[in-house]
Amino acid sequence: MPSLIRLLVILAVLGGIGYGTLWAFANLVQPHAREMSVVVPADRFAK
């Protein structure tokens, strides 16, 4: 197997693993919902 084909196969396999990992995170992991508050300084409104 020539070196270029071997390199392309390795890159395709690594890309497939990365794509599968992202798919798994997007579809199988549920985020935790929580309340969030941000304090805004009063001088921001004075402009």
Q: For 28-35, what is the mean pLDDT?
A: 90
Q: Which residue has the higher pLDDT, 29 or 10?
A: 10
Nearest to 14 by CA among 25, 4, 6, 26: 6
Rg (the chain; Cα; Å): 23
Whole-number pLDDT of residue 45? 80
Domain ranges of the chain: 1-29
pLDDT at 47 over 70: no
Q: Which pTM value belongs to this model?
A: 0.58
